[in-house]
Amino acid sequence: MTQEAWQKHSQWPMVAASLIFLVAYSIQVIADLGPDQSRAIDLIITITWLAFGADYLISLLLAPKKVRWFLRNLHELVILVLPVLRPLRLLRLLTLLKILHRASGNALRGRIITYVIVSAGLLIYAGSLAVLDAEENAAGSNITNFWDALWWSMTTITTVGYGDHYPVTVLGRLVAIGLMIGGITVLGVVTASFASWLIERVKNETVYETEQEDESLRIEISRLASEVARLSAQLESRKS
């Protein structure tokens, strides 16, 4: 079996595992669980983690150039091995978007905008869970429930930063940095998309004029060609 065939078959099961992880991780961080429930959730998360790990290993074994694939997918290994980077597993859901787009085949700009909106949404959700996980029980923390975490994520990704809530732990600050960089990227992409659209619209008029001039050149050459043809026919007739 080739790596490509494997990835085609594992695509949907992996999306399912991501969704299960999304729900289980959300419950673990947000809800106040009893010991039994907590163990059940832990089990579910472990199972999704094993699924991700199996997919990684099989992909590695099926890769035609194993060392190269290993180096290019180092980030996947890091996300798998470090428990701290657990929330990043949620970004796996972006493959869902890739599958959907492959089917539809939208225009470039529309595709980019969908991508940005969904990525920003996932980033905000994953960031909120991650910061709550890190700050919930920290001393001097001011992010202690999911709603505050979500609000803080929004003020961070938009670079507003009121300062009514902010992370105090190392992990929480790393999440914040991720959100800030995400926010700058989102702003850049939104602006660029709009600029591209506007420039295109304004240019269309100019292009129309140029096309008309090109058209007149084409007519001129066409007339020249028919003149030469007439000349040629004339010579022909005199020969006979």
Angle, helix 3-30 to helix 94-104, in steps of 10 degrees: 130
Instruction: Select 99 or 224, whichever has its Cβ closest to its own copies.
Output: 224
Cα 76 to chain center, whole Å? 15
- CB of 119: closest distance to its own copies in angstroms? 14
DSSP-assigned letter for residue 160: -
Instruction: Select 137 or 216, whichever has its Cβ closest to its own copies.
Output: 216
- CB of 31: closest distance to its own copies in angstroms? 19
Tokens for 221, please give them.
Answer: 């050459």
| Interacting residue ranges for its own copies, rule: CB under 8 A | 108-109, 112, 147, 151, 154-156, 158-164, 166, 170, 173, 176-177, 180-181, 183-203, 206-207, 213-214, 217-218, 220-225, 227-232, 234-236, 238-239
DSSP, residue by residue, 44-95: HHHHHHHHHHHHHHHHHHH-SSHHHHHHHTHHHHHHHH-GGGGGGGGGGGHH
CA 160 – CA 154 distance, rounded (Å): 8
Instruction: Select 104 or 204, whichever has its Cβ closest to its own copies.
Output: 204
- CB of 144: closest distance to its own copies in angstroms? 14
Instruction: Select 4 or 200, whichever has its Cβ closest to its own copies.
Output: 200
- CB of 101: closest distance to its own copies in angstroms? 15
For the chain, helix (H) and strand (E) counts, in that order, are 8, 0
Instruction: Select 35 or 163, whichever has its Cβ closest to its own copies.
Output: 163
- CB of 75: closest distance to its own copies in angstroms? 16
**Residue 107: φ, ψ to 5°:** -75, 155
- CB of 16: closest distance to its own copies in angstroms? 29
Using a CB cutoff of 8 Å and minimum separation of 24, what contacts does 99-106 make?
Answer: 99/11, 99/15
Q: Three-state DSSP class for 1?
A: coil
Instruction: Select 81 or 195, whichever has its Cβ closest to its own copies.
Output: 195
